[in-house]
Amino acid sequence: MVWWQAALWALAGGFVVEGLEFAALQRRHRKWPWQVDTEATEATGAGPLGYFLAELVRLAVGGVLGAALAGQVTGPLPALAIGAAAPIIAGHLTAYLPLPPTPHQVGPADTTSPPAAQTIPENVPPPATPAQPQPRPAPAPEPMHERGGTT
């Protein structure tokens, strides 16, 4: 499938999921999405524009993933499914991104460093790790007796 076709089908899949979620929210609360959780709206100030931008980003992620996976997509239904599952796929892909290390905060209350008298000399080898228990060998098979006559 051509990349732009896969992207459009994935975009359509995103619209399907968002439309179903919107309809369920309307049926359940009879309010606009940004009016359902008023405490979160006041804390973040998202409002209608914030929700519109969040939906736009979700749909764009679906289109980009559809275009990126166009080589593996064989038809419209898988591309539609990619668009529908785009937030989950993107969440799983970001789990593989390395995070930068957090800087160690040094301050007056820092007691994590050892005192100068307890420093480890450089020529001392690191402690040995405990040995892993060796698996026991399987028992030897019992000899097979020949069938036929008694001995």
Q: Where are the domains positioned within the chain?
A: 3-93
d(CA 92, CA 13): 18
Residues 6+ apart with CB under 8 A from 70: 1, 2, 3, 5, 6, 7, 79
Residues 6+ apart with CB under 8 A from 51: 33, 34
pLDDT digits (tens, 9 = 90+) for 32-90: 777 776 555 555 666 778 888 888 988 898 999 899 989 998 899 999 999 999 888 88
Q: Residue 60, exposed/middle/buried by CB under 10 A (0-12, 13-18, 19+)?
A: middle
How far CA 61 is from CA of 7, 9, 21, in Å, comes to 10, 13, 17
pTM: 0.55
For 18-87, the three-class secondary structure string (H helix, E strand, C coil) is: HHHHHHHHHHHHCCCHHHHCHHHHHHHCCHHHHHHHHHHHHHHHHHHHHHHCCCCCCCHHHHHHHHHCHH
pLDDT digits (tens, 9 = 90+) for 9-22: 999 999 998 888 88
- End-to-end CA separation in angstroms for the chain: 73
pLDDT digits (tens, 9 = 90+) for 89-147: 888 888 888 878 877 655 555 555 555 555 555 665 555 555 555 666 666 666 655 55
